Structure 1
Amino acid sequence: MKRGFTLVELLVVLVIIGILIAIILPNALRAIRQANTKQCASNIRSIDTAAQLCFSENRNWAACDSMSELQPFFPDEDGDGLGDLPVCPFGVNYTLTGNATNGYRADRTGHFAPGNWPDQHN
Structure 2
Amino acid sequence: MPSFVKPYKFDIQQGNFITQQDVAKLQVGMTKEQVRFIMGTPLLNDAFHTNRWDYVYRLLQADGNAIQSRYTVIFENERVARHGGENLPVNPTDILGPDATKEIPTGPLPSENPADDIKEGESAVGGDERAPVLK
Normalising by structure 1, we get a TM-score of 0.25
Q: Which has the higher strand share?
A: 2
Q: TM-score, normalised by structure 2?
A: 0.24
Q: Which has the higher helix share?
A: 1
